[in-house]
Amino acid sequence: MPSTVIGAAARQLVQEECLAIANALATRSDIHVGVHSARKAIRRLRAVLALFATDEQPLQRTDRALQRLGRGLSALRDAHVLVETAQSLQADAPSPGWASVITQLSARRDRLLQRARAQDPGFQKKRRAVQRVGLELDAQRWERVRKGDLRRALARSQRRAKKAAARARDSDDLEALHDWRRRVRRLRMQLEVMARLDGGLVKDHADSDGGKHAKGLRRLSDALGREQDLRLLRNQIRAMPGLQDKAQLMALTR
């Protein structure tokens, strides 16, 4: 596929992701689903921008705007995930203490949601920020995209994922685990994007085709995410005063 065609496809792709973010933030039926969908679209878009950023195609300012947007939603998403994780453990390993844990976590989640709604009703500020990102990206010179730049960016992501894996395996630090998951997830998204743009771009970066490699990375990312959720839940339970069967509940999160 000629570079000009890849550039045109990339322009369309980033606009699709901007629309996905905006639509997710406009969700009214289930705000937690909307927040989750928005954060996923933000991660996908940032992964794409990391592939296409070059000296001739500076995208750092746009990426920072997306990073701020994602961080502004992270507390809401994390609070909801804790509730879902506790509920899943309650179903798998019933214990009287789970009811209190879920009640406290749900109350915390609702407080955070109420505060977010008061500060930004309908996520209007965030949606305007997404609109600005879309305009900035549309003004970029996507026709300057070169296949060699994409291959080098993908190789860089692979090296970072391997380094993050080594750090996480040698440490019990939650942040190291989280960084490994982020690196794996970004690499998987980039492989999916490049396979979509031009399957030939990923052949030298996987044992098989990019799609199969991405599936393996997705499984790893999901496993790391589950481990991270359990650790966060364990920390929340540890901090809850007067909780019945605290030691037993913490053990169930391992």
Q: For residue range 161-174, what is the model confidence (pLDDT) as tens digits?
A: 999 888 888 777 77
Between the alpha carbon of residue 204 and those of residues 51, 143, 152, 200, the distances in Å are 16, 24, 11, 8
Tokens of residue 99, six digits: 């009811």
- SS3 (DSSP) at 108: helix
Query: 145 near 182, Cβ under 8 Å?
Result: no
Name the nearest CA neighbour of 237 among 97, 114, 129, 115: 97
First to last CA, the chain: 48
Residue with tokens 């894996």: 165
pLDDT 10s digits, 19-38: 999 999 998 889 999 999 99
Distances (CA, A) of 247 to 31, 179, 243: 33, 28, 9
Pair 24, 126: CB distance under 8 Å: no
pLDDT of residue 228: 85
Q: Which two tokens stand for residue 116?
A: 């977010």
**For residues 147-170, average pLDDT:** 87
What type of residue is 202? V
Model confidence at 209, in pLDDT bands (50, 70, 90)? very low
**Is residue 14 predicted with pLDDT exceeding 80?**
yes
Q: What is the mean pLDDT of residues 236-248?
A: 87
pLDDT attached to residue 53: 82
pLDDT tens by residue, 93-129: 888 889 999 999 999 999 999 999 999 999 999 999 9
User: Which single residue is written with the structure tokens 């970072």?
Assistant: 160
